[in-house]
């Protein structure tokens, strides 16, 4: 499905030198033609591909996979810390953690010094599953961002600049 998706969208830029045409802006703003909406739509497509095509063989949802990846990168985090890192509500995170706990993919331990908080870590099977999922997601990324290393570096630099700008705006609050 990923290959079909890429073939159906040949307008994906191959390099970093082309810029998409500016949307026509008159008295009314065309939100659907805006860069913000295109970025939103792109993320939705990527989420859908991960959910429907990449992760089903692993028996895991994309949201659960992202949570496992975050736990791997921040072992011993609390629910509150993970909620903030993933930008999800505490009840949603609690539900996801419950699912992962029941499948024995994560473990919780009472935090030393604060008995009301639990540290969350990956179990051995959770680490293995997370590594496999990350490998497959990386392969999909290679498919989407194929090209020379310079082109990929340009994509990454642009995306990081956008992310950093947005993070700066969010942190002003």
- Is residue 15, in this structure, part of any structural domain at all? no
Contact 74, 85 (CB under 8 A): yes
Question: What is the pLDDT of the chain when averaged over all its residues?
Answer: 83
State yes or no: pLDDT of 1 exceeds 70. Answer: no
Query: Residue 152: inside a domain, yes or no?
Result: no
CA distances from 104 to 11, 75, 122 (A): 43, 16, 9
Displacement of CA 98 from its chain's centroid (Å): 20
Distance CA 87, CA 100 (A): 18
2: in domain: no
Q: How many domains does the chain have?
A: 1
Would residue 99 count as lying in a domain? yes
What is the per-residue pLDDT for 54? 93
If one counts every other C-beta atom within 10 angstroms of the C-beta of residue 31, the result is 10
Domain of 108, in residue numbers: 60-137
pTM: 0.74
Residues in a beta bridge with 109: 119
Q: Is it the case that residue 58 has pLDDT exceeding 70?
A: yes
- Is residue 27 predicted with pLDDT exceeding 60? no
CATH of the domain at 67: 1.10.10.10
What's the farthest any 2 CA atoms get from each other in the chain? 60
What secondary structure letter does DSSP report for 88? -
Is 35 within the bounds of a domain?
no
Whether 18 maps to a domain, the answer reads no
Tell me if 122 is assigned to some domain.
yes
Is the predicted pLDDT of residue 120 greater than 90, yes or no? yes
Distance, CA of 47 to CA of 54 (rounded, Å): 10
Res. 76: pLDDT tops 60: yes
Rg (CA), the chain: 19
How would residue 141 be classed by pLDDT, with cut points 50, 70 and 90? confident
In a domain, 160, yes or no: no
Instruction: Answer yes or no: are the C-beta atoms of 103 and 42 closer than 8 Å.
Output: no
At 70, is the pLDDT very low, low, confident or very high (cuts 50, 70, 90)? very high
Listed in sequence order, the DSSP H helices in 15-57 are 35-49
The most confident of the ranges 1-10, 14-23, 55-64 is 55-64
- Distances from the Cα of 44 to the Cα of 90, 132, 146, angstroms: 22, 22, 20
């Amino acid at each position: 499905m990923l290959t079909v998706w890429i073939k159906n969208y040949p307008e994906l830029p191959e390099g970093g030198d082309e810029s998409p045409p500016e949307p026509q802006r008159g008295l009314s703003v065309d939100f659907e033609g805006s860069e913000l909406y295109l970025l939103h739509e792109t993320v939705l497509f990527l989420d859908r591909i991960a959910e429907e095509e990449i992760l089903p063989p692993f028996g895991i949802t994309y949201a659960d996979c992202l949570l496992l990846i975050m736990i791997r990168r921040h072992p011993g985090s609390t629910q509150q810390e993970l909620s903030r890192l993933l930008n999800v509500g505490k009840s949603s995170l609690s539900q996801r953690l419950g699912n992962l706990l029941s499948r024995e993919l994560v473990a919780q331990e009472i935090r030393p010094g604060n008995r009301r908080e639990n540290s969350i870590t990956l179990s051995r099977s959770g680490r293995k599953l997370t590594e496999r999922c990350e490998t497959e997601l990386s392969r999909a990324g290679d498919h989407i961002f194929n090209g020379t290393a310079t082109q990929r570096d340009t994509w990454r630099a642009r995306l990081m600049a956008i992310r950093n700008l947005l993070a700066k705006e969010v942190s002003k609050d």
